[in-house]
Amino acid sequence: MTSRHVSLLVLINIIPFLLVLLNLADLSEVINAPGSYPFGRSINASGSIYTSQSIYMAYCIIEIVLLISLIGISLFYQKYKKAYLILLAINFLLFIYPIMTRD
């Protein structure tokens, strides 16, 4: 691997790594202080991830697993280009889903 290839991998994986850290921080906050999140309130749409604490925790865990998979498969981007693009699209949709289901 050349230094250019390594630096490109680092640049590509900065955003997913930061999102993993943010999701881990959200999970720890939900577990330690669940009152700070608006679970089950009327401001949330029926399909929102904020309808219950368990749904939100499952959403965070699934997003963490998919982001780690995205980071892992980016190491073999040339070999698994389609799988990387599919995971990237799924992660993007999971990222915008809470925004789209807010009232």
pLDDT per residue over 28-52, tens digit each?
988 888 777 767 666 666 677 877 8
The encoded tokens of residue 19 equal 């999102």
49 within 8 A of 100, measured Cβ to Cβ? no
Q: Give the DSSP H or E segment for 85.
A: helix 81-100
| Residue in 31, 23, 11 with CA at minimum distance from that of residue 64 | 23
- What does the alpha-carbon distance between residue 61 and residue 23 come to, in Å, rounded to a whole number? 8
CA distances from 88 to 12, 16, 76, 98 (A): 11, 10, 14, 17
pLDDT tens by residue, 56-102: 899 999 999 999 999 999 888 778 889 989 999 999 999 898 888 76
